[in-house]
Amino acid sequence: MILITGGQRSGKSRFAQQTALSLTANPVYLATSRVWDDEHRQRIERHRSERGPEWITIEEEKELSKYQWDDKTVLIDCVTLWATNYFFDLQSDVDKALAALKTEFDLFTSKNAHFIFVTNEIGMGEMSPTETQRKFADLQGLLNQYMAEKADEVYLMVSGIPVRIK
Catalytic residue IDs? 47
Cβ 117 vs Cβ 4: under 8 Å: yes
Torsion angle of alpha carbons 143, 138, 29, 110, nearest 10°? 10
* Cα 130 off chain centre by: 23
Contacts of 109 (CB under 8 A, 6+ apart): 1, 115, 150
SS3 14: helix
CA distance 156 to 11: 10
User: 30: closest CA among 68, 78, 100, 94?
Assistant: 78
